[in-house]
Each structure stands twice: as C-alpha cells, then as structure tokens.
Amino acid sequence: MDFRLLASTFVAIFVAELGDKTQLATLSLSASSASRLSVFVGSALALVASSALAVLGGELVARWVSPLTLRRLAGAVFLVLGVLYVSGRGA
C-alpha cells in the first residue's frame, strides 16, 4: 500500500468535505435524530459507496484517457469554475 498516497488522499478529501452540503446535511440529521449512531453509520456508508463509484469510474476513464490529460482537464475545469465563481456567474 502506498501510504503517502493514502495520506494525501485522506487530507484532500477531509478538507474538501469540511463544510460542504453533505456535512451540513449530516449535521442536520444528527441534530434532529435520537440515534446519532445511525446517522453516523448511514453517512459513513454513503461516503464509502460514493467513493467506491468514483474509484471505479476513475479506473474506467484511465483505460482510455492518460493521467496527464486527466490532470490537465481537471485543472482547466477548476480554473474555469474559479473564474465563474469569482465573477459572480457561478451557481
């Protein structure tokens, strides 16, 4: 196992998830529920399932698109979204 990749993935996903709508929904469900354990387990399983789909999707895409092209495309998308959000045109 590549522990550097594991650590960088953990940090990137952890920071990306802080304050996003999934965390806010989980907070809301937990606040209005008598069983916080059920909310925790349900939200954890949902994140695991969506991550599994992303990994499988990435594996499929990598069969036809080089990693360098993917990084460049992702970078371009982030730049365009950043410009749109800064200009006030983003959703």
Query: Whole domain around residue 9: which residue ranges?
Result: 3-64
Distances (CA, A) of 42 to 17, 21, 22, 75, 88: 16, 15, 12, 32, 35
Tens digits of per-residue pLDDT, 27-68? 999 999 899 999 999 999 999 999 999 999 988 998 999 989
The percent of residues above 90 in pLDDT, for the chain, comes to: 59
Give helix 67-87 / helix 36-62 axis angle, nearest 10°. Answer: 120
- Domain count of the fold of the chain: 1
Task: Classify residue 89: in a domain, yes or no.
Answer: no
Instruction: Give pTM, 2 decimals.
Output: 0.66
Cα 11 to the center of its chain, rounded Å: 11
> In the predicted model, what is the mean pLDDT of the chain?
90
Is residue 22 assigned to a domain? yes
